[in-house]
Structure 1
Amino acid sequence: MTKPKTIVVKIGSALLANQDLLTPRYGFLQRLMEDIAHLRSQDWNVIVCSSGSVALGLRIIGETPQSAGVSDKQAAAACGMPLLLNAYKQVGHEFGFDIAQVLLTLGDFEDHRRFLNTRNTVHRLLSSGIMPIVNENDTITTEEIRVGDNDRLAAKVAQMVGASDFIILTGVDGLYDRNPDDPEAKFVPEVHDVNDYMDATKGKSTLGTGGMETKLQAANMAQEAGVTTWIAQGEADRPLSRVLEGTGRATKFFPNPEPMSGWDSWITNRLQMAGSLVVSETVATELAEVNRPIRRVDVISADGDFTRGDVLHIYDSNGVERARGLSDFTSEELRVMINNPETEAEQLLGYRTKGEIIRHNNLVMLDTRHVLWDAPSSMSEG
C-alpha cells in the first residue's frame, strides 16, 4: 500500500470573505471542498491553512478593514472564527468528511518542542481521515508574537508535515514580473530562485496581511524543505486538481534538489528574528570552510533580547547575513562575556562553560538559494 501524499493549501481572506459584505463566500467554499473531496478520494492528505476569521468578524463588531486597530482585529477574530469553521464544517459535511481546527502562534513554530507536538497532532488527525484547518490564533496574538501572515505560516506547516506540494490560492493566476495591473507585465510560469523576483512583489490585498512578497518568502521556505510550491488562481473550477494535473495556469516553484534536513530547515526558516550577531569577514569565511562553533572571541556585537535556544542570525562586518544558529546563552549572558573579554566565562556566569555561543552542529551556513534578512538597523550602534 502506497503512503498518501500530503498537500498543504493556503487560502487568502479575499477568497473566503465577500469584500463588501464581509460574509462567507459559500460558492467558493463549495468548489474548493468538492475539489478537496476529489483529492482525498485519490489518496491525498489535505491540510488547509485558512485566513478569513478577522475579515468575517469585522462586520459583527462594527469595524471595517480600514478602521480596525489591533484590539479590533483580535475581537473580530474571536467573532469570525466560529463563522469560518461553521462554513467549512457545513460544506465539508456535504462531501462526507470531518474537519478539525488547529490554532497556532509564533511560539508553536519557534520552540522546537512545541513544533514537534504540533506536528504529532496534525499527523494524528490525518491518520483518522480528518482534515486539519490551521489558523493563527489572532484572538490572543500581538504584533510582537504573531507570525504576521498565513503564507509563511502555511509554508512552515508544509515543512513540518513533510508535504510534497504546497498550493497558495490567490486572486491572480500566479507570479508576474511586475504588478499584474501593468499592461506590460509578463506571467512567470516557473521559478527556481525567488530572489530574481523579490523586487516585483510590493503591495498587499485589502483584506489580507500579505502580498506577493510574503508568498515568495513562503515559497522559498517550502523549496528549502523539498516541497513543490504553486501560486494559482483560487476562483477557477477545481482550483487544486487543475494545478496538480498541469491543466491550469499557475506559477511553479521547484524544490531544491538537495533539501535540508528537518533540523537545519527548522533553524533556517524563521518567522521572526530573535536576535543577531556580527562577526568579522575572516570568521565568517572560516565558518563556511571549517566545521567549527562560534566562540565568544568571534563576536563583535550582539543585537536583540533573546534567550538560550533562540535562533540567531549571523552577519559579517559588511552587514551580509551568512548563517543562522541556536544560541547557548541569553542575550544578557552574551553581552557580559563580550564586554569582559579578559575574564573567564565561568567566573562571569557562575557555571562551567566553554564559551561556545553557537555549537557547530547547531549552526547552518546560508547560500544563494536563501532569501537573506536585512541586518537590524540598531546593529550599527554595536
Structure 2
Amino acid sequence: MTRTSVSPSRSDAETALRTRITAARRVVVKIGSSSLTGPDNRVDPAAIDRIVDAVQARQGAGTHVIIVSSGAVASGMGPLNMTERPTDLAGKQAVAAVGQVYLAHEWGRSFARYGRTTAQVLLTASDAGRRDRTRNAQRTLDRLRLLGVTPIVNENDTVAHSEMRFGDNDRLAAIVAHLAGAEALYLLSDVDGLYDRNPVDPAARFIGEIRDGNDLRDVVAGDGGRVGTGGMASKVSAARLASRCGVPVLLTSAEQIGAALDTGDVGTVFHPKTTRISAWKFWALYAADTAGTLRIDAGAVRAVTGGGNSLLAVGITSIDGEFHSGDIVDIVGPDGEVIGRGEVAYDAHTLAPMLGKQTSELPEGMQRPVVHADYLSDYASRA
C-alpha cells in the first residue's frame, strides 16, 4: 500500500545522509514480491520495466547496481494456476523453480532494452555461512561489476531447507550489501516508508529518519503480505542490520524508485554506524554457521567486551560442540546470553583440558589465545 507521506522539516544530518545515498557508486536495490507480480500471480512486465528504467538511469550516471529480487514463488503461482501460496516446503520449492525461470527471463528482457546484460545469482544461507562460499560469492559479484553486468540476486528457494534459509530477501539484501561493499541499500516494497503503526490508520505518523534503536521504541511493524514472506518488521530488521554495519539504508515503495534512486527525497532513511566493520567480522557475527559454544566467566565477559582483548583459556568455564581449529563458535556469558562470536584456535578435544588455566600454566605451543582479538566480535559493540 502507498499513501502520501508528509515529513516534518529535515535535520541537517538527514539531508546529508540522503545526499550521501544518492551519490553512492555501488548500491543494492531490493524489490519485494508484490512489486514484481500482478493480481494474476504472474510476473508483471510493465512493473519490471518501470524498475529497470529507474535502475538504468542510475547506472547510466556511473553507479553499479545489484538487484535483490523477491518473487520466485509468487511468479510461479500463476503459471501453475495456483491462487494461494503453498505452505509446505516441497510445494514452495517446486513453485519457486517454475517462477524463477519467468522472473529471470523478464529481468533479462527488460535490461536488454538498454543493451545491458544481466546475471542470475542464487544464494542460500549455507553459502553465507561458509567462509569459502562467501568469498566465492564476493568474487563473482565483483567480476560481474567489472564486466558491466547487472546481477539479479535471489535466495535459492529450490534447494534451501527450512532450517537454513535467510528467512526473507530483506535480510539477504543486507548481507549482500555488506559483502559486496555497497555504499547504500534500498529496500523497496509497497509501502512508501516507515510509520509508527499500520499506514492504513489515519493517525499513523510517518517517520523520516531512524538514527538508532531509540527511534523505534514506539513503532509497531507488521508481517508479510499474501505473496511475500517479509513485511515491515523484516525490513526494519534488515535496515538495522545493514546500518549497524556501516551501510546507510533508504526504505520506500517500488512506485517511488525513480525519486529514490535520483534525489533520495522519499521514504525513510536509516543512519549507519560511523565505522564499517570488516567483512570477516560481519560474516562471523551475522552469516557464519557456528560449530560450538564457549562459556565464559564474568571477568572474561568484561575483558572481551571492553574492546581489543583476546579470549584466554583462564576465562572459559565450559565448552560445547565438536568444533575444530578455525571454526566459528558462540561465546556465552555466565547468564546464558550470547555476547559474541569468534574463530577458535584449538580443536574441542585440545581445548578441554586447558579450561580455567592461566597462560603460564599451559605447555609450550598452547599458550596462544583461544580466540584472538582480531578474530573476535562482540555484540555489545554493535548495539
Q: What range describes the TM-score normalised by the shorter chain of this pair?
A: 0.7 to 0.9
Q: In 2 relative to 1, CA 75–44 (structure 1 residues): closer, same or farther, beyond 3 Å?
A: same
Task: Tell me how far apart the structure 2 counterparts of residues 185 and 208 of structure 1 sit (CA, whole Å).
Answer: 23
1:265-302 Cα deviation digits (max 9, x unpaired) = 33223376665443222220122236433344433455
Comparing 207-216 with 291-300, greater Cα deviation is found at 291-300
What TM-score results when the alignment is normalised by the length of structure 1?
0.82
Residue in 2 aligned with 1:50? 69
Is the CA contact (8 Å cut-off) linking 1:39 and 1:241 kept in structure 2? no
Is 1:132 matched with 2:156?
Answer: no
Comparing 311-320 with 29-38, greater Cα deviation is found at 311-320
Residue in 1 aligned with 2:88? 69
**Greater RCO between the two (CA within 8 Å, min separation 6)?**
2
**Which of 4, 9, 17 does residue 37 from structure 2 map onto?**
17
Report the Cα offset of residue 152 of structure 1.
Answer: 1.2
Residue in 2 aligned with 1:294? 311
Which structure 2 residues correspond to residues 185-200 of structure 1 after superposition, within 5 A? 185-194=204-213, 196-197=215-216, 200=220
Residue in 1 aligned with 2:238? 218
Is the CA contact (8 Å cut-off) linking 1:33 and 1:95 kept in structure 2? no
Aligned-residue RMSD, C-alpha: 3.0
Residue in 2 aligned with 1:285? 302
Which structure 2 residues correspond to residues 198-347 of structure 1 after superposition, within 5 A? 200-236=220-256, 239-247=257-265, 249-270=266-287, 275-289=292-306, 291-302=308-319, 308-328=325-345, 333=348, 338=352
Task: Tell me how far apart the structure 2 counterparts of residues 271 and 148 of structure 1 sit (CA, whole Å).
Answer: 15
1:114-134 Cα deviation digits (max 9, x unpaired) = 212211111111111110001
Report the Cα offset of residue 4 of structure 1.
Answer: 8.0
Task: Tell me how far apart the structure 2 counterparts of residues 147 and 305 of structure 1 sit (CA, whole Å).
Answer: 25
Is 1:32 matched with 2:45?
Answer: no
SS at match of 1:7: strand
SS at match of 1:116: helix
1:146-202 Cα deviation digits (max 9, x unpaired) = 222111111111111211111000111111122323332211111121464276224
Q: Which amino acid letter does the alignment assign opposite residue 201 of structure 1?
A: A
Is the CA contact (8 Å cut-off) linking 2:289 and 2:328 kept in structure 1? no
Q: Which amino acid letter does the alignment assign opposite residue 286 of structure 1?
A: A
Which structure 2 residues correspond to residues 114-133 of structure 1 after superposition, within 5 A? 114-133=133-152
**Which of 363, 367, 371 does residue 376 from structure 2 map onto?**
363
Is 1:155 matched with 2:174?
Answer: yes
SS at match of 1:322: strand
Q: Which runs of 5+ in 2 are unaligned?
A: 1-22, 358-364
Which structure 2 residues correspond to residues 63-102 of structure 1 after superposition, within 5 A? 63-102=82-121
Is 1:175 matched with 2:194?
Answer: yes
Residue in 2 aligned with 1:8? 28
Is the CA contact (8 Å cut-off) linking 1:61 and 1:75 kept in structure 2? no
What TM-score results when the alignment is normalised by the length of structure 2?
0.82
SS at match of 1:113: helix
Report the Cα offset of residue 34 of structure 1.
Answer: 0.6
Q: Which amino acid letter does the alignment assign opposite residue 205 of structure 1?
A: G
